[in-house]
Amino acid sequence: MLTKKQKNLLLFINKKLRSSGVSPSYEEMKASLNLKSKSGIHRLISALEERGFIKRLAHKARALEVIKLPETASANDIYNSFSPSVIKGGLDSEQEIDGVEIPVLGKIAAGTPVEAIQNEVSRIPLPENIEKKGEYFGLKVQGDSMIEAGINDGDTVVIKKTDTADNGKIVVALIDDHEAMLKRIRKKGKTVALESANKNYETKIFGPDRVKVQGVLVSLYRSF
């Protein structure tokens, strides 16, 4: 059981890691909890580490990894802990593109499923703040089931290819090798839950052999 401050700090660290890929500074953590000194942050981090919620990464200053979120966290806590890195107006057709490009492979449903990932339809720049190691692709979002996670209909999401994902990650999930959808994944026992971030949509439950992770959301483009 976590205290309120421990829980709030854990969610703040998780939000910062998801939005920027970098752990927050002790000054940022202190400000987020309205504490007067950093010593309180040190104690909270040690408590979270002892309870197995976070891990300090060796040989990296200030580097933390969130291992799990508290079971008592509400859906809103978890949704609000994810803030996608949004590149506003970043897909202007007249924009000159420098650097790494990635393929856009069609549309992905953030509501009801659509056909599995399609062939390349265009190319977009890989956001500058994304680590260049790994393989990435883009997908155009259809639907509103992930709006409470900051993902809107019409956004273009940037996905890092992987076949594994931690609980709570937003992933491209392939169902029965046929249908693809953008959902938050949760595994428990022999079942896989694919959660929407919209109270109007039900969570979908599948057997483990029916779901294959195709990639994890790392960023998105939004036109205004």
Residues 176-205 pLDDT 10s = 988 899 999 988 888 999 998 888 888 899
Question: Which position has the higher pLDDT, 73 or 181?
Answer: 181
For residues 123 and 76, what is the distance between their CA atoms, to the nearest angstrom? 34
* Residue 183 annotated to the active site: yes
Check if the beta carbon of residue 183 is closer than 8 Å to that of residue 168.
no
According to the model, what pLDDT value does residue 147 have? 86
Instruction: Return the HEC string of 58-81.
Output: CCCCCCEEECCCCCCCCHHHHHHC
Model-level pTM?
0.61
According to the model, what pLDDT value does residue 224 have? 61
User: For the chain, what is the mean pLDDT?
Assistant: 81
According to the model, what pLDDT value does residue 31 have? 87
Tokens of 50: 């002892």
**Protein fold of 4-80:** Arc Repressor Mutant, subunit A (1.10.10)
- Where does the chain hold its CATH 2.10.109.10 domain(s)? 86-222
Question: Which position has the higher pLDDT, 150 or 71?
Answer: 150
* Residue 223 annotated to the active site: no
- pLDDT tens readout for residues 44-70: 999 999 988 898 877 665 688 888 877
Tell me what percent of the residues of the chain surpass a pLDDT of 70: 81
* Residue from 145, 160, 169, 196 carrying the catalytic annotation: 145
* Residue from 30, 183, 196, 219 carrying the catalytic annotation: 183
Span 86-222: which CATH code? 2.10.109.10
Q: Is the predicted pLDDT of residue 104 greater than 60, yes or no?
A: yes
- Where does the chain hold its CATH 1.10.10.10 domain(s)? 4-80
User: What is the distance in angstroms between the CA of the first residue and the CA of the last residue of the chain?
Assistant: 43
Check if the beta carbon of residue 146 is closer than 8 Å to that of residue 200.
no
Q: Is the predicted pLDDT of residue 73 greater than 80, yes or no?
A: no
